[in-house]
Structure 1
Amino acid sequence: MTTAAFTAQLTTALHELYPGPEAAAVAALVTETLLGLSSLQRRMQATALVPAEVVAQLPALQTRLLAHEPVQYVLGTAHFAGLDLEVSPATLIPRPETEELAQLIAQEQAGRTGLTVLDVGTGSGCLALAVARALRPARTVAVDISEEALAVARRNATRYAPETEFQQLDILRITPTITPGTLDVLASNPPYVRDSERTQMRANVLAWEPTTALFVPDTDPLLFYKRLAELARV
């Protein structure tokens, strides 16, 4: 099976779940990731044969994707701010708005060194690692309530910013270990979706991504933002 045929077969299978352009984009991403190709290389190598061991993975890939499993979890990786990060159902899939936040922090703090950065709810470590790389040398502390998520973040840090410090704690109850008066940057993309809005979420989000990283009580939807405001005064 050629590269083009592999992509086309997966695109056809995904049409029952995704609109045409989205199905094609997901299929292209899968092909490129499995074969280690860029988008340009995939198109230039359209007639190249796909290794048999990769073709053998196609039925299982289709089954998982058609069960609404996010493509990032199927592949075990997500692209973020130039980084190829490991992700799993224990971590929220990095969002474009979080990448914009990382870029904004890097721009605002450009030229400064020796900063102390705190990332709350680090998940895969995407925000902490992108900021750590942009602001070196800096002390970057990343916290999360989930030890499973932190295990993923630590593996990502090994590749991109091994100096990053990680702390497992419930941010609503415990303050991270940072000397008072030394915090320069507080970064977070905290949960903000009301529990009552669960029915409006897409199946691939609701069934697969960690609910603790998404939802807040209807009675206090700003509780994480209130806590972040408290931490900003540390």
Structure 2
Amino acid sequence: MATVKDTHNSIKAALAAVYPEPEAGAMAQQVLEHVLQKTRLELSLMRDQELSAAATTATAPLVERLLQHEPLQYVLGIAHFYGLELAVDERVLIPRPETEELVHLILQEHQGRKHLNILDIGTGSGCIPIALAANLQEAQVYGMDISEGALAVARANAEKYQVRVSWLLQDIFEPVQHLPPQSLDIITSNPPYVLESEKELMRQNVLAYEPHLALFVPDEDALKYYRRITEVGQTLLKKGGKLYFEINERYGNGVKELLLQAGYSHAEVLKDLFGKERMVRAVL
């Protein structure tokens, strides 16, 4: 029987045909942590132990899926986001680190406030509303999506952490149901913002597996979601309420101007940890 160390090395060698180092080694580590349900430290302490036949059998299909360029998060069925371990599959986008930064910004600006009313538009896995609900006291949080499949994933994630989020199956381009005018303190959105013409620049595993509905916008109307959500915010936000967008870095000034022209009192483009313009915050 192969040891944990041997199995790690064999998985890494197989993945090296598709992924560069150190990515192949990191993925091999995560596969073993997932199959054995052990932490990195626990695995290192048992590196010379023999792997059970069941565990060995369980790793094979995971490695095979990775060799087909399927994203690791889908293969393992989980993505880590702001201290949460969320279920993900091909019905939802994989949460990204820059979205964690958006959540962190919102929490920094509203920590200690109670009874906030918050809407996340295009919620996907529910990562944004669940993280906000878990960290803001007594907030009333809504997550909206056009996809029933996405909302099924989001509901399961909310139930896992026993946070209260109300889910709305809704096309944002239709009149918004169930939310009264001027009832919200915060609207958040990480809408589709990748141009159709940028497809050829994207990694194959994103194109082949992640939902295009949540990724792409037509080149001729790149700001369509921002424009519509700006309008929705004018109706649903309280005076002084805030709107937070994640953006394609090339859209910063365009989104800012759109908000100011619509009548928001303030709009600001913010940079992520890598110095890229990836967020816009506006005040009604």
TM over 0.5: yes
Shift of 1:73: 0.6
Query: What residue in structure 2 maps to residue 60 of structure 1?
Result: 61
Change in CA separation of 1:115 and 1:171 when aligned onto 2, cut-off 3 Å: same
What is the identity, as a one-letter code, of the residue corresponding to 1:20?
E
Query: What residue in structure 2 maps to residue 169 of structure 1?
Result: 170
What is the identity, as a one-letter code, of the residue corresponding to 2:15?
L
Q: Does 1:116 align with 2:117?
A: yes
State the secondary structure of the residue aligned to 2:14: helix
Greater gyration radius: 2
Runs of 4+ aligned residues of structure 1 deviating over 2 Å after TM superposition are 48-51
State the secondary structure of the residue aligned to 2:221: coil
Question: Between Structure 1 and Structure 2, how many residues are aligned?
Answer: 234
Counterpart Cα distance in 2 of 1:45 and 1:184: 50
What is the identity, as a one-letter code, of the residue corresponding to 1:72?
Q
Shift of 1:59: 2.4
Shift of 1:174: 3.4
State the secondary structure of the residue aligned to 1:20: coil
Please give the TM-score of this superposition, normalised by the length of structure 2.
0.80
Q: Which segment drifts farther, 118-127 or 205-214?
A: 118-127
Counterpart Cα distance in 2 of 1:14 and 1:107: 40
Query: What residue in structure 1 maps to residue 247 of structure 2?
Result: none
Change in CA separation of 1:174 and 1:32 when aligned onto 2, cut-off 3 Å: farther
Could you report, residue by residue, the CA deviation over 1:190-219 in whole angstroms, capped at 9, with x for unpaired residues?
A: 110001111111110000000011000111
What is the identity, as a one-letter code, of the residue corresponding to 2:204?
A
Q: Does 1:179 align with 2:171?
A: no
Alignment of 1:53-202 (within 5 A): 53-202=54-203
Are 2:35 and 2:58, in contact at CA under 8 Å, matched by a contact in 1?
no
What is the identity, as a one-letter code, of the residue corresponding to 1:111?
G
Q: Does 1:13 align with 2:18?
A: no
Q: Which segment drifts farther, 57-66 or 22-31?
A: 57-66
Q: Which segment drifts farther, 108-117 or 4-13?
A: 4-13
Are 1:118 and 1:142, in contact at CA under 8 Å, matched by a contact in 2?
yes
Are 2:8 and 2:29, in contact at CA under 8 Å, matched by a contact in 1?
yes
Are 1:143 and 1:176, in contact at CA under 8 Å, matched by a contact in 2?
no
Are 1:132 and 1:161, in contact at CA under 8 Å, matched by a contact in 2?
no
Question: Hey, which of these two has a bigger chunk of strand by percent?
Answer: 2
Shift of 1:176: 4.4
Structure 2: runs of 5 or more not aligned:
237-284
> Kindly, what percent of the aligned residue pairs are identical?
46
Shift of 1:139: 0.4
Shift of 1:171: 1.0
Counterpart Cα distance in 2 of 1:50 and 1:108: 48
Q: Determine which structure has greater relative contact order: mean sequence separation of CA pairs < 8 Å that are 6+ residues apart, divided by chain length.
A: 1
State the secondary structure of the residue aligned to 2:209: coil
Are 2:118 and 2:139, in contact at CA under 8 Å, matched by a contact in 1?
yes
State the secondary structure of the residue aligned to 1:167: strand
What is the identity, as a one-letter code, of the residue corresponding to 1:125?
G
Structure 1: runs of 5 or more not aligned:
none
Counterpart Cα distance in 1 of 2:177 and 2:37: 39
Please give the TM-score of this superposition, normalised by the length of structure 1.
0.96
What is the identity, as a one-letter code, of the residue corresponding to 1:28?
Q
Query: What residue in structure 2 maps to residue 227 of structure 1?
Result: 228
Q: Does 1:44 align with 2:45?
A: yes
